[in-house]
Amino acid sequence: MEPLKIYIAAPRGFCAGVDRAIQIVELALEKYGAPVYVRHEIVHNKYVVDSLRAKGAVFVEELDEILSDDRPVIFSAHGVPKSVPEAATQRNLFYLDATCPLVSKVHKEAILHEKRGREILLIGHAGHPEVVGTMGQLPEGTVNLIETVEDARTYTPKSDKTLAWISQTTLSVDDTKAIVAELTERFPDIVAPHKDDICYATTNRQEAVKAIAPKCEAVVVVGAPNSSNSKRLREVALRSGASKAFLIQRASELNWDELSGITTLGITAGASAPEVLVEEVVDAFRLRFDVTLETVRTAHEDIAFNLPRELRTATSAAE
């Protein structure tokens, strides 16, 4: 077999927010029994969603798909517009909020800016659940979406209010810097977040890819096609020196024609992808190449988020 050096990026895979969201579904099933409803994919990963479905989770896009009012419903890690918990309360549904605390931080920033009379710009991708959730914290038209440097260059303020910017947590660090630079040049008094809105996990995973990409002919990102942070990892790999980069959900999606003849490969995983899928990809390469593995670590992560109060008793009992 041909030799292949694989550089494995670290950190990779699950972040604290994803880990917490999955735990919330598993503990709710343990405490309340099946079915437990989940509005939207709990995280953007088919393997994770299918695993939870097999345990009794029922995934819906909207609350009106839930016919029973006596079962728990969980809101996904991406966050939801204010109208969703309001609708749940009107129906007397018992709900658990699995919104990542770092997304909730952005929600609070938006609300605070509005209270202080600022015009709010949200840097993000239209239609992404996190963006829908953040814009939905305030009345329609209050939050203005900026997707590109061109948007920042051409944005016309709606009023003479002070501007403030916030961002989606899973963006490209470099793209966001370019957008913020344009906004700051045009509007020197624009108010920035006290602490960067792009989450630690997104930043760390992109830095790790930047470290391995220049050494690699190809980079494989394990993640879902609708996962913003996974798509950004593929883009970062290409910009950082990899000739090819692929976003795949499972090893079965690997394109061996595209990978023939390579001698160096990088592997990473988006924040919603479990380590078992990374191992599956490595094993697939071992079947075709004489593999040598090297982990390239650029940061250590030890962050954990608290579970909702209602489920803390379930974890104590489990321990």
Question: Has 130 been annotated as catalytic?
Answer: yes
CA angle 271, 277, 281 (to 5 degrees): 120
Instruction: Return d(Cα 306, Cα 75) in angstroms, integer.
Output: 16
Which tens digits make up the pLDDT trace of 186-213?
Answer: 999 999 998 889 999 999 999 999 999 9
- What's the domain count of the chain? 3
Q: Do 116 and 88 lie in a common domain? A: no
Instruction: Return d(Cα 2, Cα 261) in angstroms, integer.
Output: 8
Given 61, 130, 140, 235, which residue is catalytic?
A: 130
Mean pLDDT of 304-314: 88
Answer whether residue 159 shows pLDDT above 90: no
The answer as to whether 231 is a domain residue is yes
Last residue of a domain, one of 186, 209, 241: 186
Residue position matching structure tokens 């593929």: 234
- H helix or E strand, kind and range, residue 108: helix 101-115
Q: Do 254 and 208 lie in a common domain? A: yes
Instruction: Read off the pLDDT band of 133 (50, 70, 90).
Output: very high
Q: Do 179 and 219 lie in a common domain? A: no
Q: Residue 313's domain is classified under what CATH number? A: 3.40.50.11270
Which tens digits make up the pLDDT trace of 50-107?
Answer: 999 999 999 999 999 998 899 999 999 999 999 999 999 999 999 999 999 999 999 9
Last residue of a domain, one of 186, 215, 249: 186
Answer whether residue 316 shows pLDDT above 80: no
The model's pTM is: 0.93
Q: Do 221 and 283 lie in a common domain? A: yes
Percent of the chain topping pLDDT 70: 98
Residue position matching structure tokens 């605390």: 101
Sheet containing strand 143-146, edge to edge, reads 143-146, 119-123, 163-167
Q: Residue 160's domain is classified under what CATH number? A: 3.40.1010.20
Q: What is the three-class DSSP state of 27?
A: helix
CA angle 48, 81, 314 (to 5 degrees): 45
Whether residue 35 has a cis bond before it, omega within 30° of 0:
yes
Amino acid at 147: E
Mean pLDDT of 4-32: 97
Please answer whether residues 103 and 130 qualify as being in contact, where contact means their C-beta atoms are separated by less than 8 angstroms. Answer: yes
Mean pLDDT of 249-268: 97
DSSP 119: E
Q: What's the confidence (pLDDT) of residue 160?
A: 86
Q: What's the confidence (pLDDT) of residue 314?
A: 55
* Of residues 170, 231, 226, 168, the one with CA closest to residue 15: 170
The answer as to whether 143 is a domain residue is yes
The answer as to whether 46 is a domain residue is yes
Full residue range of the structural domain in which residue 251 is found: 2-14+200-297
Contacts of 282 (CB under 8 A, 6+ apart): 6, 8, 267, 291, 293
Please answer whether residues 265 and 5 qualify as being in contact, where contact means their C-beta atoms are separated by less than 8 angstroms. Answer: yes
Q: What's the confidence (pLDDT) of residue 83?
A: 97
Q: What's the confidence (pLDDT) of residue 23?
A: 97
Q: Do 33 and 82 lie in a common domain? A: yes
Which tens digits make up the pLDDT trace of 47-56?
Answer: 999 999 999 9
Amino acid at 94: F
Instruction: Return d(Cα 36, Cα 290) in angstroms, integer.
Output: 45
- H helix or E strand, kind and range, residue 214: none
The answer as to whether 128 is a domain residue is yes
Q: What's the confidence (pLDDT) of residue 173?
A: 96
Q: Do 261 and 205 lie in a common domain? A: yes
Last residue of a domain, one of 186, 217, 242: 186
Q: Do 239 and 204 lie in a common domain? A: yes
The answer as to whether 171 is a domain residue is yes
The answer as to whether 36 is a domain residue is yes
- H helix or E strand, kind and range, residue 29: helix 16-32
Instruction: Return d(Cα 52, Cα 36) in angstroms, integer.
Output: 10
Instruction: Read off the pLDDT band of 315 (50, 70, 90).
Output: low
Which tens digits make up the pLDDT trace of 114-130?
Answer: 999 999 999 999 999 99
Sheet containing strand 264-269, edge to edge, reads 244-248, 218-222, 264-269, 2-10, 289-297
